Amino acid sequence: MAKRELRVLLDGTPLLGHRTGIGRYTASLSEELASLSGVDTRAVGFTLRGWRGLRSVLPHGVRARGMPVAARLLRASWLRSNFPPVETFAGRADVVHGTNFVLPPTLRAARVLTIHDLAFLDAPEELAPSDHNLPELVRRGAAGADVICTPTAAVADSVAERLDVDRDKIEVTPLGVDAGWFTGRPPGEERRLRLGLPDEYLLFAGAPGPRKGLDWLLRAHATDSSLPPLVFAGPGNFPVTERTRHIGYLSDVDLQRVVAGASALVLPSRDEGFGLPILEAMACDVPVVCTDVPSLREVSGGLARLVQYGDVDGLAEALRQAVDEPSAASTSATRRAHAASFTWRRCAEATLAAYRRAVSS
């Protein structure tokens, strides 16, 4: 008798709207899961207004399930009880995966939760008003999950300690780098003009926020007028000065070109769960400067310039060194090989192992 497919229900809400880190994770993971044999991948959107758009953004082979439900109402109910279980409006599943910190209650399905970082515990005052109850929701989800996934071992260790869960309950499922990054080319003249790019520039790629360290980056950049201009690529509001510019949210192709053309990529975050732009820059053979925090040390593999958070002079010096770094074939090959060791297939296979472990438990 043929073995029945494992029915997986993902939280597909991060696929809606502009995709930053968690949206890209959810998209790439679901696409790879759909390509694996023995898995029936489905997605549900916890949203009222954007629900109809879910079908149009799902990867090939992933089916939409559910009905329009307001996330605010669901979260309020899930804080107090296990009602409504997700199967009541999204259908039966063998395993339900909360891809974005929040784990829905289930009737019978096993439960897997991805916790990307613990920034919501470190600075709850920085959460959006709609996320004010996120710390309690995550604690509840972590306690009830059969398996927890984290992008790095550093986050896994922090989750075990700070959320008081067994470390053996946590699976590390590192993110991946799309193949297109390894063939990324600097932008041509037409693209430079369209995006308003200078000939040389330092790049921050991502969404702004208090923990991203942009004030620190601006202070360090301002200490040395010889540094190239600073470019911000991503959605939201960024600080703009005479020597900085914001080029907005970019398509995947534009982003790859912009990263490939940078003198260096800088990720000055106070904290990160993974730091995917680091690997994407390395795949393009672009030097990286980032904060010396556990997750970024783990992901960069000794191939980035690490700076203590808040050290203005240290960050300025690291930026100068990155800009002046001599081209070397050995350095290029090492960076690219390190980035190539992180694949979405590996992420999907590790996540599928977490599903099977959750179901068997």
Mean pLDDT of 30-51: 91
- Over residues 148-202, the pLDDT tens digits come to 999 999 999 999 999 999 999 999 999 999 999 999 899 999 999 999 999 999 9
Q: How many domains does the chain have?
A: 2
334 belongs to a structural domain: yes
Instruction: Give the least confident one: 86-95, 113-122, 141-150, 323-332.
Output: 323-332
CATH code (residue 266): 3.40.50.2000
φ, ψ of residue 306 in degrees (nearest 5)? -100, 135
Tell me: do 331 and 354 sit in the same domain.
no
Tell me: do 246 and 275 sit in the same domain.
yes
Give me the sign of the Cα torsion angle 47, 12, 21, 254. negative
Tell me: do 48 and 164 sit in the same domain.
yes
| Token output for 320 | 């100068």
Mean pLDDT of 87-102: 95
pLDDT confidence bin for 146, thresholds 50/70/90: very high
Residues near 134 by beta carbon (within 8 Å), at least 6 away in sequence: 101, 102, 120, 127
Tell me: do 153 and 274 sit in the same domain.
no
Burial category of 134 from C-beta neighbours within 10 Å (exposed 0-12, middle 13-18, buried 19 and up): middle
Helix (H) or strand (E) holding 313: helix 312-323
Tell me: do 197 and 330 sit in the same domain.
yes
The pLDDT assigned to 1 comes to: 40
Tell me: do 137 and 200 sit in the same domain.
no
What's the CA gap between 353 and 174, in Å, rounded? 13
What global pTM score does this model have? Answer: 0.95
Tell me: do 148 and 184 sit in the same domain.
no
Tell me: do 186 and 322 sit in the same domain.
yes
| Residue 335, domain extent | 179-340
Q: 49 pLDDT exceeds 80?
A: no
